[in-house]
Structure 1
Amino acid sequence: MDEIYAEAEQWHVNTGNETIHAKRVPGRWRTIKWLAASVWLIFFLGPYLRWDGRQAVLFDIPNRQYHLFGVTVLPQDFWMLSLLLLFFAILLAVATALAGRVYCGYFCFQTVWTDVFTLIEEKLEGNPAQRRKLESAPLTGRKLRVKALKHLAWVLIGFVTGFSFVAWFYGAGKLWQDFFVGNANAAVYASVALFTVGTYVLAGWLREQVCFWLCPYARIQGVMLDRTTVVPTYDERRGEPRGRMQKGETEATRTTGDCVDCNQCVAVCPTGVDIRQGQQEGCITCGLCIDACNAVMDKVGRPRGLIRYASLDEIEGKSAPPMIARPRVWVYGAILVLALSGIIYGLSSLSAIELKVLHERAPLFVQLSDGSIQNKYTLKLLNKTSEDLMVSVSVESEVPVTLSGAEEPIAAKHGEVNPGIVFVKMDREHLDAERIPLTFVAAATLPDGTEVEATRESAFFGPKP
């Protein structure tokens, strides 16, 4: 424990009193980082994908309809959202248990947007040294012009982010028609403004401070790592003692480790972490320090891997079980499979119409003047399609019954629950029990000619025979 505290005392945590200008170096992990970040193109381009003449994915909150390609999900089926959230939560837990904060380093929107913002900053203001010099320089026309252009680009990216977010809920085509002519509602303008300002402030100004102080997931991950978790790690046994290369030094005369104390691993870190001080709070597992160190090792003629993805057990030379053999991975995997199975089942079992039948309880039955027994039912028809339908209702039973109140098809509006009252009558001579099973059937024809139906089990009640 004393060793842990001693190591933590050497950590460098930026509390916002300095701006980190991380150096950019090419390498394997930088390439992987950009490829992983490209997943966010779906966020910007997704609303423009069409399916059957409409937006492929549209969360139509005013009409309480959620269109996912050819499937329309209504609030009644929203239990699948719980499974979807569970799936992604466990997926994050699996990723963290195996490879630390890999989500933060490669996929997190804060990390990706900050990376894009700092790339723009580098293109306009120059390398880290030039940026620091520009910051401390007096205000001139050139500085004002460069700074204004940079912040304008940041605001523009923030606006596109907010506009794209709203397009998932409002409809991309309709948003383009309404937004710029003032026809969109106040919630649309407020949402775009909030995302514009939020993106500009979080990615442009706060940057790594969001990871340090605002993101709760960064704290949660700290208790999810163990000695077998693979994270960027400095091989202290190989690298120490650190020291600069001496002129004429050979392998036989060298008295220092492989680390030449160039500080390139710190220079490229987006959170300012010195990985040589051990795994710490600010490390987002992005692997950029590995690229920087490998490049230096190539130049000085020493083997790569001084900083590499490795577990603590591996660095200390201990044998570690393979990832697939870890019980936690199996538990997480089982939950993932169950959640995904539930989502697939829910999507595959969605029907175009849904029928619910409520039996009148007071009274359960009435006896008519001709001696027959009558029951009253309230039908609730849910039309899950995007078109109004005419739904025919019938009833099936082992004994003859008569259905009244549904002689004509019921008009079912799309996306709504459409109630209706029907009566079922049975002759006394056919009533051989107090309770007789019934099956109500609702059938409709979709605009494309497809026949759909929904059934619901109920019961017919009468006096003792």
Structure 2
Amino acid sequence: MMTMMSSLELQQKRWIVRILWTSIYLFIPFIQIDGQSALRFDISSLGLQFFGNTIYIENFFIVLIFTFLLTFLIILITQLYGRIWCGWFCPQTVLMNFTKFLDIKKQSLVTKLLGHIFVLVISALIGASMVWYFVSPYKFFGDIANGRLDSATMWFTITLSIITYLNFAFIRYKFCTTVCPYSKLQSVMFDDNTLIIAMDPETSYKCVRCNACVTTCPVGIDIRQGMDSQCINCGRCISACTKTMTVEDEDVPTLIDYIYGFSNTKKPLRANVLITAVVTFVFLAGFIFMAATMKPYEFQVFPNSSFLPRYKDDQVINSYEIMLKNLSKKDLKVELQIKDFDDY
């Protein structure tokens, strides 16, 4: 079994993904496009600011379509590449990697205390960044500087920071193995050609029982015992095994690797994959169509509740209220006409 990438390449790529993903998460709220946040739900206007466009609550059905699109896209990725999302892109896993030092068993009291202080600072930053997706970070820091941060924003920030700290400090990867619904559903999405991590049965006899793969596993499984549903495809065991086998046996770079099913046959054009791909494409087409045809205004007509219908010259006189809302960022010129009035 040949390794798809060296241990060094694997570690480098993991760090690149972590830094890139974390940077995107933290800095997107600060990006301004036409005076609006690149991605933020504005509570006051009930509008989702999305890269220069604002999707108001009246057109929020498009967000539902986009959610289905992302859901089936993740299912498609899972069918092809297993739990690659869990090990490489999930915010829980990505951010947890910055606090790996908490997994070290033997630490002095001072080291543990400093570690938890660092985690608390990181948790406060993440808790605040969650709030920035609802409150502009510029307003957030401006209100703090002026001592005008409202109590709701403050308590949401504190609560999210505490939850994040408890997660990082105590729950950690237990969330992945016990609570995460995606972890429970992923086994349904797997087939005989899904990308997994496994030990090569042909070279398994060369295992020196160093237990490095078990020690480094964030979820505590023994990959030598076969595929485990708790495996998050992070590849740490591959790096650990490669490091050991480089010293023990230069002819075998690693005993553990990414493989496409136990037969290691790459077969992307499978029935279940094609069906999921078609459904994903349908939602993508629907999202593009809705985005292209979305009306820049909302128009509604309501009966005037304060005006009672009356007769005059054998005609019914009634009153209506017109509600016209501009959903775009531009001034709109609107002309109202009443057609076929004789039919009423």
Whether the TM-score (by the shorter chain) exceeds 0.5 is yes
Q: Is the 1:297–1:303 contact (alpha carbons within 8 Å) kept by the matching residues of 2?
A: yes
Deviation at 1:381, TM superposition (A): 0.9
Q: Is the 2:54–2:328 contact (alpha carbons within 8 Å) kept by the matching residues of 1?
A: yes
Of 191, 195, 218, 1:230 maps to 195
Q: Determine whether 1:349 maps to 2:287.
A: no
CA offset digits 1:144-193 (Å, max 9, x no partner): 43222211110110110011111121111100011355422222122211
CA offset digits 1:77-105 (Å, max 9, x no partner): 10011111111111221122122211111
| Secondary structure at 2:174 match in 1 | helix
Of 270, 277, 287, 2:225 maps to 277
Deviation at 1:238, TM superposition (A): 2.2
- 1:133 aligns with 106
| Secondary structure at 1:205 match in 2 | helix
- 2:260 aligns with 311
Q: Determine whether 1:336 maps to 2:272.
A: no
Q: Is the 1:154–1:204 contact (alpha carbons within 8 Å) kept by the matching residues of 2?
A: yes
Amino acid at match of 2:53: V
Matches within 5 A, 1:144-293: 144-179=109-144, 181-240=146-205, 258-293=206-241
Q: Are the structure 2 counterparts of residues 234 and 186 from structure 1 closer, same or farther at C-alpha, using a change threshold of 3 Å?
A: same
Q: Is the 2:22–2:95 contact (alpha carbons within 8 Å) kept by the matching residues of 1?
A: no
Matches within 5 A, 1:95-134: 95-119=77-101, 121=102, 131-134=104-107
Matches within 5 A, 1:68-83: 68-83=50-65
Percentage of matched positions with identical amino acids:
27
| Secondary structure at 1:314 match in 2 | coil
- 2:267 aligns with 322
Q: Which of 1 and 2 has greater Rg?
A: 1
Deviation at 1:65, TM superposition (A): 1.8
* Worse overlay, 219-228 or 29-38: 29-38
Q: Are the structure 2 counterparts of residues 312 and 351 from structure 1 closer, same or farther at C-alpha, using a change threshold of 3 Å?
A: closer
- 2:16 aligns with 35
**Structure 1: distance between partners of 2:83 and 2:125:** 28
Q: Determine whether 1:393 maps to 2:335.
A: yes
Q: TM-score, normalised by structure 1?
A: 0.65
Q: Note the aligned Cα RMSD (angstroms).
A: 2.9
Higher relative contact order (CA 8 A, sep 6+): 2
Q: TM-score, normalised by structure 2?
A: 0.86
**Structure 1: distance between partners of 2:343 and 2:70:** 51
Amino acid at match of 1:50: Q
| Secondary structure at 1:281 match in 2 | coil
CA offset digits 1:394-414 (Å, max 9, x no partner): 32xxxxxxxxxxxxxxxxxxx
Deviation at 1:356, TM superposition (A): 3.8
| Secondary structure at 1:133 match in 2 | coil
Residue correspondences, number = 333
| Structure 2: 5+ residue stretches without partners | 1-5
| Secondary structure at 2:133 match in 1 | helix
| Secondary structure at 2:105 match in 1 | helix
CA offset digits 1:405-427 (Å, max 9, x no partner): xxxxxxxxxxxxxxxxxxx5xxx
Deviation at 1:69, TM superposition (A): 2.7
**Structure 2: distance between partners of 1:461 and 1:374:** 14
Q: Are the structure 2 counterparts of residues 310 and 390 from structure 1 closer, same or farther at C-alpha, using a change threshold of 3 Å?
A: closer
Q: Is the 1:233–1:311 contact (alpha carbons within 8 Å) kept by the matching residues of 2?
A: no
- 1:444 aligns with none
- Compare the two structures and name the one with the higher helix fraction: 2
**Structure 2: distance between partners of 1:338 and 1:359:** 39
- 1:94 aligns with 76
**Structure 2: distance between partners of 1:358 and 1:296:** 75
Q: Are the structure 2 counterparts of residues 27 and 209 from structure 1 closer, same or farther at C-alpha, using a change threshold of 3 Å?
A: same
| Structure 1: 5+ residue stretches without partners | 1-24, 122-127, 135-142, 241-257, 396-423, 425-437, 439-458
Q: Is the 1:29–1:286 contact (alpha carbons within 8 Å) kept by the matching residues of 2?
A: no
- 2:251 aligns with 302
* Worse overlay, 38-47 or 343-352: 343-352
Deviation at 1:376, TM superposition (A): 6.5
* Worse overlay, 53-62 or 40-49: 53-62
- Compare the two structures and name the one with the higher strand fraction: 1
Q: Determine whether 1:61 maps to 2:43.
A: yes
